[in-house]
Amino acid sequence: MKCDICGKPGARQRNVPRNYGKGESLLVIENVPTVHCSNCGEGYLTAQTLKEIERIKQNQQNQQTAASKRPVAVAAFE
């Protein structure tokens, strides 16, 4: 595929995990399609991928809000 940054062919798409946020709001999204170009060395996400990530983050926030309303706290033995 063509690189959006330098315009040369040879860019490849790879699915890699990416982290968003930190601490309790850390969100790991796996298999994010990331474009890597061997000509200019850039790695970037397409507009469509960014849109999809925004949607996933929104879903995640909604789920967390729902989870925090549960009356029972969940704990685990070390």
Task: List residues near Zn ion by CB under 5 A.
Answer: 3, 5-6, 37, 39-40
Looking at beta carbons only, is 13 or 39 nearer to Zn ion? 39
Query: Which 3 state secondary structure label does DSSP give 54?
Result: helix
Nearer to Zn ion, 10 or 21 (CB): 10
> CB burial class (10 A; 0-12, 13-18, 19+) of residue 38?
exposed
Q: In whole angstroms, how close is the CB of 41 to Zn ion at the nearest point?
A: 7
Q: Smaller CB distance to Zn ion: residue 6 or 53?
A: 6
Min CB(42)–Zn ion separation in Å: 5
Distances (CA, A) of 16 to 37, 46, 75: 15, 14, 31
